[in-house]
Amino acid sequence: MTKKELVFLGPPASGKGTQTSKLSQYLKFPHVDTGSLLRRAMTEKTPDGLTAQGYIEKGQLVPIEIVASIIKSRLQEEDCANGFILDGFPRSIEQAEMLEGMLKEIDADKEVGFKVVYFDIDQQLLLDRIIYRRSCSKCGRIYNLLSLKPQKEGVCDDCGEELIQRKDDTEETAKARFNTYFEQTAPLIKFYEEKGSLRKIDANGEVDEVWERLLSEVN
Ligand code: AMP
């Protein structure tokens, strides 16, 4: 069986998190999301989590050594053996080069051949998506107070837990996150285009429309 490795790229709030969680259930490959792994380390107050917190709250990239050690141990777990969906890593050329080295080390006898799916989206809507975004404190399901409201205010439809706003979803931090994205992450589009591994998806529109486009690309 060929290993299915998918890497997702796109600006903050482009819908990557929603679609990659859905895809993970559909393909039965784990959704490896660096943002969530770092937030978990923050909640658990591990040394890496405590260092990461300051960067996350300023909308900056967490130092590469921290992300690398978190992601490497996650990709070596048993459930990633046949494939994984990577969301939020790499976020810079330096991280992209590190990822290739990491995958070669994990699977020395296999060729590194992941597909990169880029969420191409109209950027004007994104700031509103972030400011009105809420997520379930337990299962992580994502809502939007304007476009994707829960049935009961403040409560998750799936598990009944409280909905919370991420600390870095305020307007000021969101703007910093966009700057970080354009300066450090967006150059990866050209980087992967030149390697021939980039697949562009039109990420505008409803969740179901984007889902259909995504399926035709990854199947
Ligand atoms: P996200 O949940 O993907 O929006 O990520 C939230 C925050 O976590 C980002 O704004 C960064 O501060 C940090 N982060 C997530 N992934 C990475 C990464 N690959 N490298 C450095 N920092 C990251």
- CATH number of the domain that 7 lies in? 3.40.50.300
Close Cβ partners of 35 (under 8 Å, ≥ 6 residues apart): 17, 87, 88
Segment 31-36 shows an average pLDDT of 94
- Could you count the other beta carbons within 10 Å of the beta carbon of residue 54? 10
3-class secondary-structure state, position 133 = strand
Distances (CA, A) of 41 to 44, 45, 47: 5, 6, 8
Contact 19, 6 (CB under 8 A): no
Do residues 121 and 102 lie in contact, with contact meaning Cβ atoms separated by under 8 Å?
A: no
The structural domain count of the chain equals 1
Q: Tell me, in angstroms, the distance from the centre of ligand 1 to residue 188's CA.
A: 15
**pLDDT value at residue 115:** 92
In this predicted structure, what is the pLDDT of residue 87?
96
Is 62 part of a structural domain of the chain?
A: no
- 72 within domain boundaries: no
Ligand 1 atom nearest to 36, measured from its CA = 2
* DSSP β-bridge partners for residue 116: 7, 198
Per DSSP, 161 falls in state P
Q: Is residue 116 part of a domain?
A: yes
Neighbours of 13 (CB within 10 A): 26
pLDDT at 81: 86
* CB 88 less than 6 A from any atom of ligand 1: yes
Residue closest by Cα to atom 5 of ligand 1: 35
**CA of 55, closest atom in ligand 1:** 12
pLDDT tens across 184-206, in order? 999 999 999 999 999 999 999 98
Tokens of 154: 């403040």
pLDDT band at 93 (very low <50, low <70, confident <90, very high): very high
Q: Is residue 158 part of a domain?
A: no
- 49 CA from centroid of ligand 1 (Å): 12
Residue minimizing CA distance to atom 14 of ligand 1: 35
**3-state percent helix, strand, coil for the chain, nearest multiple of 5:** 50, 15, 30
**By residue range, what is the domain housing residue 208?**
3-30+77-121+179-218
The protein residue whose alpha carbon is closest to atom 15 in ligand 1 is: 35
CA distance 55 to 12: 16
Instruction: Kindly state whether residue 69 falls inside one of the protein's structural domains.
Output: no
d(CA 13, CA 207): 12
Q: Is residue 202 part of a domain?
A: yes
Residue 94 in any domain: the answer is yes
Is 37 contained in some domain?
Answer: no
- pLDDT attached to residue 196: 93
204-213 mean pLDDT: 94
Task: Show the tokens assigned to 99.
Answer: 């990822």
Give tens-digit pLDDT for 37-81: 999 999 999 999 999 999 999 999 999 999 998 999 899 999 998
